[in-house]
Amino acid sequence: MRLSGAQILLECLVREGVEIIYGYPGGVVLPLYDRFPQYPQIRHVLVRHEQGAAHAADGYARATGKVGVCLATSGPGATNLVTGICTAMMDSVPMVAITGNVARNLLGRDGFQEADITGITLPITKHNYLVMEAKDIAATVREAFYIASTGRPGPVLIDIPKDVFIEEAEFHWPEQVSLRGYKPTLDGHPGQIKKAAKLIDNAKRPVILAGHGVIASGGAPELRALAEKAGIPVITTFLGIGAFPQDHALSYAWLGMHGAYYANHAANNADVVIGVGMRFDDRAMGRFSDFNPTAQIIHIDIDPAEIGKNFKTAVPIVGDVKRVLAQLVQEVQPNTHVEWTRWIDDLRREHPSFIVPDTDGISMAYAIRQIYEATRGEAIIVTGVGQHQMWVGQHYTFRYPRQLISSGGLGTMGFEVPAALGVQMGRPDKVVWSICGDAGFQMTMQELATIVDQNAPVKLAIMNNGFLGMVRQWQELFYNHNYVAVDTKQALCQPDFVKIAEAYGIKALRVTEKEQVRAAIDEAMAHSGPVLIDFVVEQEENVWPMVPAGASLAETIDHPATAKKVRA
Amino acid sequence: MSQKHTLVALVEDHPGVLNRVASLFRRRGFNIDSIAVGPTETEGVSRMTIVVDGATTQVEQVEKQLYKLIDVLKVSDITGDRMIARELALIKVRCNNLNRHEIVQLAQIFRAEIIDVTDTTLVVQVVGDEETIENLLAVLRPYGVREIARTGRVAMARGAVSTSVEPEPVEIRQFHRREGRMPQKALPFVSD
């Protein structure tokens, strides 16, 4: 069957099971857009900025586990995807980004809207392609989806010059993918599994650090089985939240810069640390040189390059987390660690860490707790980046994988609005709340239009403290209270978010009093369409506990309220 | 004395592969002394010989990160006694009628060849390890070295052990034909 390059691409996307593409048209992708009406199976969603397309595809992928797809034209369209692609790369999210480029005879000549997007995205994609012939499109798309979704997932970019969309070629759907340079190891080495099991069986104070890889591999049930059988406390990373039910008796919240005091100390006092699908990142582990020097580390990850990158590992196990954990459950002996868990329990009683402060105004922690209660802990929560993100981690109790959608590695402000759209479209059966910062919201608020177009019933809660809150906290603590370029309420322009929402035709509420919080949340829940709530919250709250940048986990500064009580 | 490691990477002969490797080294801050690229015994596969300074760079990370590139097929660290390492250099030296013969004799000691002669210059070609080339350069410098072109190290292990890839990855191809795109079974290659 002879088809144009554009048709071949769309035929391939249909066969890959793509239902939604987030995109923005432009000159060089017009031959592709021209063919969209022939493929009604694929829903094209027009975003209002290409960054939104990438984040929406990312949110869709994180919420569903499927590959998210975004599409942009050449030049500025392609470069606008960059932040979103890098966000997906840092958090190992399966994504395929498709860009058009200038016609082949113009490549490399700096023509109108030419950008070397394969060159630009080289270090921020798992792999990328410049397709120079229509006959290569099918195999390329096949490979791209395979690479994006297998092994350690990640974004793959396909760049296609304009005339390749027009060129005709014979269409063959390749039955197999043959990539001799890409062979992810899935099963853990039996010898290593035995070694790890022995180490676990002999451990007095073991702890599991569960990361995003547990969620990505679908290994949450196996993780639970291992923790319960061997009686091991589970601490997650921030992105690992949801990998283990936080209301479980063996759950000890999450560790890191703003993690729980007791989680940080438990990790730091363990004799065996089992890192599962996580990468021992600096935000989680504190100063590398001082992290628990006596612990033996077992590291399970699908990416061999992560093992030994930051820490010396006693037992490395390369493989798919789900499979390795299943193997490990078979090998370990049933066990309990009563003394050890009691030690952490006592620490938790003395240092509860995640405290809702007693304030006259609305504290963010209070508002988030109220959202948790109103949604009975069943909503999918999308966040931006900063203080509100940390408080969501602290005050919403997550029980399911893929329930918290947040940019961890890259820390992309503005992720919350477009990602929430993608999450809601991927999970129309779920209530989706996007907890936004008042600053991050303004970075991508143009996607409110897309939310309206799609009638996505996303509930947007702006935690409006009139500051770039996390930056302000650092300026207060580490730069002598010298506030520079952070005061968006008094010194700088702060728009009226209610009016903005209303301008887009979105129902909007403003909440200034504590007593109104729950009613506003209930009203938002009762409304069938999207709703925006502008929570005017306490201006200068700080997130505690905190591990100052460059400090060790042992130096975790506790919540001031607790610190006082413990001393007295 | 030296912590130099010689890595051999076999890569797909695709456009931009060298760019991917170079970009990786730059981004991760890996220090490399030299890199030499050329074709191999297998069609479609290129060989890169990379010399890394183990004192400043974690060599194991270099290997693992290289493996993450889809176009990289095989990486081995062949550093050790069993390695043959050679480099070729072309050296253009100033000369005149009085010292030309002397330079030719010096070159012969190093088993170097004279490739080109004019009344004012000689081009010397030398093949050897880096030390040999440095020594030759040291004796030629007093005459006036006008230009140097060096290839960087190429290397392989002595004996029957070889760093190579099969031309046709039959197992993988058959496996994917059987299992489809998202295999539930383990791939035939499982690392140990």
B20 touches chain A (CB under 8 A): yes
Are A38 and A115 contained in the same domain?
yes
Q: Which of A107, A120, A158, A176 is most worth mutating to test chain B (most B CB atoms within 10 A of its CB)?
A: A176
Provide the percentage of residues in chain A whose pLDDT is more than 70: 99
Please confirm, yes or no, whether A1 is among the known catalytic residues: no
Tokens of A516: 């109104």
Are A22 and A148 contained in the same domain?
yes
| B16 contact residues in A (CB cutoff 8 A) | 118, 130
CATH number at residue A508: 3.40.50.970
Are B9 and B75 contained in the same domain?
yes
Please confirm, yes or no, whether A470 is among the known catalytic residues: yes
Residue B137 lies in a domain: yes
Residue B135 lies in a domain: yes
CATH number at residue A263: 3.40.50.1220
A148-198 pLDDT tens trace: 999 999 999 999 999 999 999 999 888 778 788 898 999 999 999 999 999
Single residue among B58, B79, B100 that ends a domain in this structure: B79
Residue B175 lies in a domain: no
Of residues B106, B4, B131, the one with CA closest to residue B62: B4
Residue A564 lies in a domain: no
Residue A417 lies in a domain: yes
Of residues A560, A563, A566, A567, the one with CA closest to residue A358: A560
Residue B145 lies in a domain: yes
Asked if B51 and B5 count as a contact pair (C-beta separation under 8 A), the reply is yes
| A304 contact residues in B (CB cutoff 8 A) | 64, 67, 191
| A118 contact residues in B (CB cutoff 8 A) | 16
| B29 contact residues in A (CB cutoff 8 A) | none
Rounded distance, CA A284 to CA A256, Å?
4
pLDDT score of B1: 40
The mean pLDDT value of chain B amounts to: 86
Residue A546 lies in a domain: no
Residue B173 lies in a domain: no
Are A150 and A281 contained in the same domain?
no
Are B101 and B142 contained in the same domain?
yes
Are A319 and A372 contained in the same domain?
no
Are B95 and B142 contained in the same domain?
yes
Tokens of B36: 């030499």
Asked if A395 and A356 count as a contact pair (C-beta separation under 8 A), the reply is yes
Query: How many independent structural domains does chain A possess?
Result: 3
| Contacts for A450 with CB less than 8 Å, ≥ 6 apart | A45, A46, A47, A48, A52, A56, A418, A421
pLDDT score of B178: 55
CB–CB contact B191 A177 (8 Å): no
Lowest mean pLDDT among A220-234, A458-472, B168-182: B168-182
CB–CB contact B64 A318 (8 Å): no
Single residue among B79, B102, B129 that ends a domain in this structure: B79
Single residue among B14, B44, B79 that ends a domain in this structure: B79
Residue A560 lies in a domain: no
| B12 contact residues in A (CB cutoff 8 A) | 181
Single residue among A350, A377, A406 that ends a domain in this structure: A350
- Largest CA-CA distance found in chain B, in angstroms, rounded: 77
Are A161 and A220 contained in the same domain?
no
Are A368 and A303 contained in the same domain?
no
Mean pLDDT of B47-58: 91
Q: Which of A107, A140, A180, A195 is most worth mutating to test chain B (most B CB atoms within 10 A of its CB)?
A: A180
Tell me the pLDDT band of A567, cut-offs 50, 70 and 90: low
Rounded distance, CA A380 to CA A420, Å?
9
Are A10 and A154 contained in the same domain?
yes
Are B75 and B89 contained in the same domain?
no
Tell me the pLDDT band of A538, cut-offs 50, 70 and 90: very high
Residue A178 C-alpha, separation from nearest chain B C-alpha, in angstroms? 5
Are A380 and A516 contained in the same domain?
yes
Residue A552 lies in a domain: no
Q: What does the DSSP assignment read for chain B?
A: ---EEEEEEEEE--TTHHHHHHHHHHHHT--EEEEEEEE-SSTTEEEEEEEEETTTS-HHHHHHHHHHSTTEEEEEE--STTEEEEEEEEEEEE--TTTHHHHHHHHHHTT-EEEEE-SSEEEEEEEE-HHHHHHHHHHHGGG-EEEEEE---EEEESSS------SS-HHHHHHHHHH-SS-SSPPS----
B134-161 pLDDT tens trace: 999 999 999 999 999 999 999 999 988 8
The mean pLDDT value of chain A amounts to: 95
Residues on A contacting B at a C-beta cutoff of 8 Å? 118-119, 122-123, 126-127, 130, 142, 145-147, 149-150, 175-187, 189, 303-305, 308-309, 318
Provide the CA A146 distance to its chain's centre, in angstroms.
Answer: 21
Please confirm, yes or no, whether A112 is among the known catalytic residues: yes
B54-93 pLDDT tens trace: 888 889 999 999 999 999 999 999 998 789 999 999 999 9
Q: Which of A112, A330, A478, A513 is catalytic?
A: A112
| Contacts for A402 with CB less than 8 Å, ≥ 6 apart | A62, A63, A64, A65, A215, A242, A380
B181, pLDDT greater than 50: no
Residue A179 lies in a domain: no
pLDDT score of A183: 87
CB–CB contact B181 A318 (8 Å): no
pLDDT score of B171: 57
Rounded distance, CA A237 to CA A267, Å?
11
CB–CB contact A184 B187 (8 Å): yes
A14, pLDDT greater than 60: yes
Mean pLDDT of A310-318: 93
Residue A453 C-alpha, separation from nearest chain B C-alpha, in angstroms? 34
Are B74 and B91 contained in the same domain?
no
Rounded distance, CA A163 to CA A459, Å?
43
CB–CB contact A127 B64 (8 Å): no
Are A299 and A323 contained in the same domain?
yes
Are A281 and A390 contained in the same domain?
no
Residue A92 lies in a domain: yes
Are B74 and B97 contained in the same domain?
no
Single residue among A299, A319, A350 that ends a domain in this structure: A350
Please confirm, yes or no, whether A162 is among the known catalytic residues: yes
B192, pLDDT greater than 50: no
Q: Which of B67, B181, B187 is most worth mutating to test chain A (most A CB atoms within 10 A of its CB)?
A: B181
Tell me the pLDDT band of A562, cut-offs 50, 70 and 90: confident
Amino acid code (one letter) for A403: Q
Q: Phi then psi for B10, rounded to 5 degrees?
A: -100, 125
Query: How many independent structural domains does chain B possess?
Result: 2
Mean pLDDT of A218-230: 98
Are A391 and A313 contained in the same domain?
no
CB–CB contact B191 A176 (8 Å): no
Are B8 and B75 contained in the same domain?
yes
pLDDT score of A179: 85
Mean pLDDT of A549-567: 83
- Residue A427, Cβ neighbours under 10 Å: how many? 17
Residue numbers of the domain that contains B127 = 85-154
Positive or negative, the CA dihedral A329, A333, A337, A338 is positive
Exposed (0-12), middle (13-18) or buried (19+): which is A531, by Cβ within 10 Å?
buried
Of residues A317, A284, A294, the one with CA closest to residue A209: A284
B43 touches chain A (CB under 8 A): no
| B192 contact residues in A (CB cutoff 8 A) | 189
CB–CB contact A176 B180 (8 Å): yes
B122, pLDDT greater than 90: yes
Provide the CA A328 distance to its chain's centre, in angstroms.
Answer: 27
CATH number at residue B118: 3.30.70.1150
pLDDT score of B183: 45
Residue B130 lies in a domain: yes
For residue A146, give the chain B residue with the closest CA: B181
Are B9 and B69 contained in the same domain?
yes
Are B122 and B142 contained in the same domain?
yes
pLDDT score of B189: 41
CATH number at residue B38: 3.30.70.260
pLDDT score of A537: 97
Query: B 115-174 residues with CB below 8 A of A?
Result: 165, 169, 172-173
Please confirm, yes or no, whether A194 is among the known catalytic residues: no
- Nearest by CB: B64 against A187, A189, A304: A304
Residue B100 lies in a domain: yes
A493-514 pLDDT tens trace: 899 999 999 999 999 999 999 9
Asked if A442 and A81 count as a contact pair (C-beta separation under 8 A), the reply is no
Tell me the pLDDT band of B123, cut-offs 50, 70 and 90: very high
Element (H, E) at A272: strand A272-276
Q: Which of A66, A126, A162, A459 is catalytic?
A: A162
User: What's the start-to-end Cα distance of chain B, in Å?
Assistant: 31
Residue A551 lies in a domain: no
Residue B103 lies in a domain: yes
Residue B116 C-alpha, separation from nearest chain A C-alpha, in angstroms? 38
Buried b (16+ CB within 10 A) or exposed e, A203-234: bebbbbbbbbbbbbbebbebbbbbbbbbbbbb
CB–CB contact A305 B61 (8 Å): yes
Are A342 and A417 contained in the same domain?
no
For residue A310, give the chain B residue with the closest CA: B61
Residue numbers of the domain that contains A523 = 364-536
Lowest mean pLDDT among A88-97, A378-387, B93-102, B179-188: B179-188
CB–CB contact B172 A179 (8 Å): yes
CB–CB contact A150 B182 (8 Å): yes
